[in-house]
Structure 1
Amino acid sequence: MTAPYALQVDSVAKAFGGNRVLEKVGFNIRPGEIVGLLGPNGSGKSTLLNTITGFEAIDAGSVTFEGRRIDALSAHRIVQAGIARTFQLPSMPAKMSVAEVAMAASIEHHGIWENLFGLRAAREAEARAREQANALLYQLLLAPVRDQPAAAISGGQKKLLGIVCALMAHPRMLMLDEPTAGVHPNLRSDIVGALQRLNEAGMTIVIVEHDMHFIREVCHRCIVLDRGHIVADCRPDELASNERVLEAYLGGSAARPAAAGATAGPVLRMGVA
């Protein structure tokens, strides 16, 4: 029987010393959703992403993916379970090409097949990985730079390459950490299109992001954190009228229009730009 939720986060808590970063955070994500994870700086978004993907251990609660508890697994075991992620500032090696970096992200290219089954199996596995890498580089518009040094491509292209590397693990859920931060508007449009195509093919996606225009274009639902607590779980078009969201970004007094006829929408856009 298929689990009704792709991801279940239940009462997750995390502290660093005396700093309690997450306090009983809980939410569910259905298969095929694109969910934005929002909040002001210091709200706990990155820590939450790190706990789900195995880069930080939780202090309490549970994380379940497709009906299986994963909060005790290491990061690479969580990738094997079906969740892959990108990072806000991807660092790319100077002496590897774009295509080589994509190939290196494939488990089939790491020599395991030669060790287990011999040279022929290793060559077949490498051919499959190369075919997958080429297809993904084409799909995410990186085929023209496939032979360039990975460190020499633009910041936006590095973010696209980070998505390619995550997809090389054949995930069913993709978690992205600020995929449009510092990206040229033209490449931002490419990222939007790439994520929409992935979602249409069945990928569940979680996005940590500050760009509200991007969130409105891509996300089906938004979860908003403030000081380690969830303060909203709603559609993108409901954010601008949600008082708890406005208070999270601007504080209690700033969240309310000062004059009759003022609207919350522009205030929220200013708060997250």
Structure 2
Amino acid sequence: MNTMLRLHDVHKSFGGNTVLTGLSFQVRAGEIVGLLGPNGCGKSTVLNTITGYCPIDNGLIEIRGEPVNGMSSHEIAAKGVRRTFQLPSMPTRMSVEEVVMAASIQKHGLFSTFCRSGSTRRLERDTRSRAQHLLAELLLTKVAHLPAASISGGQKKLLGIACAMMEQPALLLLDEPMAGVHPNLRAELVSTLKRINEQGITLVIIEHDMHFISETCSRCVVLDKGKTVADCLPCELESHESVVEAYLGKKPSGQYQVAGVTA
């Protein structure tokens, strides 16, 4: 299977704070991989480096075999990479539907393209149809005409996924998609992400909900102190010595609850 994403010996520091220290892992095309680790281990920084928001200090990041070091976030997005954020901020003067529609045009924005295009009505109709389909899939149809900033935190997470999906990405990076999502929507979100993956989209998911990880992911990469300490199946997490040490600071002994995993 082809490699979609590869990080090799990646280092990243912010001033005197070293966050990533020789991080290496890869994701094959078509996988759903969970990116796990205790708070402060560098998970969100990994997504920031992959997407060009934070240039790395040393190492190599490849998307489908092509180095993306030094590329801007826009250039990396043009290669089919999209992401969501842990704490999404939404516009106050645009509706939920308008936000999703605006996400459909990569370079210049939806409305400037409409102004230049000779097929304005068809483009707007197709874009609106795609947005409405995604809002329905993510159970946001009832709030489609509300201001995007007024919906709940969990709904903003779902809205972020809808925006990321407008351009049918090759690689989708999700930062804690379950956090703040109502428990009643949990099973629906798992099913939705699996349907997204069935469309040929590779997923990398940061998440602390281990039950969600076991339901959704085919493999887990665990970070601690800025480097990979485990690369295993979800069912192997509870018995993996390095995983338990990362969360508890000790070797497995007896029964511990590790971020939702009994070890």
TM-score bracket relative to the smaller structure: over 0.9
- TM-score with structure 2 length normalisation? 0.93
Task: Report the Cα distance in structure 2 between the residues aligned to 1:110 and 1:15, rounded to whole angstroms.
Answer: 39
SS of the equivalent of 1:130 reads helix
- TM-score with structure 1 length normalisation? 0.89
Q: Which residue is 1:77 aligned to? A: 75
Q: Which residue is 2:258 aligned to? A: 268
For 2:210, give the aligned amino acid. M
Q: Which residue is 2:199 aligned to? A: 201
RMSD of aligned alpha carbons: 1.8
Structure 1, 103-112 or 223-232: larger mean CA deviation: 103-112
Compute the displacement of 1:231 (Å).
0.2
Compute the displacement of 1:171 (Å).
0.8
For 1:86, give the aligned amino acid. T
Task: Report the Cα distance in structure 1 between the residues aligned to 2:47 and 2:19, rounded to whole angstroms.
Answer: 12
* Cα pair 1:156 1:187 within 8 Å, conserved: no
Percent of aligned pairs sharing the same letter? 54
Structure 1, 105-114 or 57-66: larger mean CA deviation: 105-114
Unaligned runs of 5+ in 2: none
Task: Report the Cα distance in structure 2 between the residues aligned to 1:130 and 1:214, rounded to whole angstroms.
Answer: 31
Structure 1, 185-194 or 234-243: larger mean CA deviation: 185-194
Q: Which residue is 2:4 aligned to? A: 6
Q: Which residue is 1:109 aligned to? A: 110
Task: Report the Cα distance in structure 2 between the residues aligned to 1:170 and 1:28, rounded to whole angstroms.
Answer: 21
Q: Which residue is 1:230 aligned to? A: 228
Out of 249, 252, 258, the position equivalent to 1:256 is 252
For 1:17, give the aligned amino acid. G
SS of the equivalent of 1:81 reads coil
Q: In the TM superposition, what are the counterparts of 1:1-273 in structure 2 within 5 Å?
A: 4-107=2-105, 109-112=110-113, 114-115=115-116, 118=117, 120-252=118-250, 255-257=251-253, 262-263=254-255, 266-269=256-259
For 2:61, give the aligned amino acid. V
Compute the displacement of 1:191 (Å).
1.5
* Cα pair 1:139 1:194 within 8 Å, conserved: yes
For 2:257, give the aligned amino acid. V
* Cα pair 2:114 2:124 within 8 Å, conserved: no
For 1:256, give the aligned amino acid. P
Task: Report the Cα distance in structure 2 between the residues aligned to 1:237 and 1:86, rounded to whole angstroms.
Answer: 26
The 1:78/1:110 distance shift into structure 2, 3 A limit, reads farther
Greater share of helix residues, 1 or 2?
1
* Cα pair 1:157 1:187 within 8 Å, conserved: no
1:91-117 deviation line (CA, Å, top 9, x unaligned): 1122211111111111172423643xx
Task: Report the Cα distance in structure 2 between the residues aligned to 1:60 and 1:169, rounded to whole angstroms.
Answer: 31
* Cα pair 2:52 2:72 within 8 Å, conserved: yes
SS of the equivalent of 2:257 reads helix
Compute the displacement of 1:141 (Å).
1.6
* Cα pair 1:97 1:149 within 8 Å, conserved: yes
The 1:271/1:249 distance shift into structure 2, 3 A limit, reads farther
For 2:252, give the aligned amino acid. R
* Cα pair 2:209 2:260 within 8 Å, conserved: no
